[in-house]
Amino acid sequence: MSALQSDDEVVPSILPPIAGLFTFGALSGAGTYLMLPYTIRRAAVQNGELSEDDLGGDENLARGGFHPGAAGYAFSTAGIVVLAVMFIVEDPLIVVPVGFVLPLVEYTVLSQVLPR
């Protein structure tokens, strides 16, 4: 018998909460990293401080069309959903896949809706 177990009780594994929190932190951090500059640039365009030409939208499309704002918003909201799912279901086999599938679905929609 190990030192963490007694005859009557079994200490729960700490791995599932750590996997869920790591997924939450990675998604939220990546989302903020991508979303914040996009939001600041869009606000500068709307205030007239920058023009659309200054942002280099054509070069962005030439690089494959990656939309940093859509990715940032998708990762950030997916991080919050992962945290919520983690409170409901403590199994990382459910929480971690939700953290990978949800941003893909959100990015697909947001990249079509948000302005570049």
8 A C-beta contact, residue 28 and residue 86:
no
On whether residue 7 sits in a domain, the answer given is: no
Q: Both tokens of residue 55? A: 């942002």
| Domain membership of residue 55 as a residue range | 16-113
pTM: 0.70
On whether residue 5 sits in a domain, the answer given is: no
Q: Both tokens of residue 28? A: 């939220």
Q: Looking up tokens 């697909």, which residue turns up? A: 108
On whether residue 4 sits in a domain, the answer given is: no
On whether residue 52 sits in a domain, the answer given is: yes
Domain count for the chain: 1
- pLDDT for 4 beyond 70: no
Higher pLDDT, 94 or 109: 109
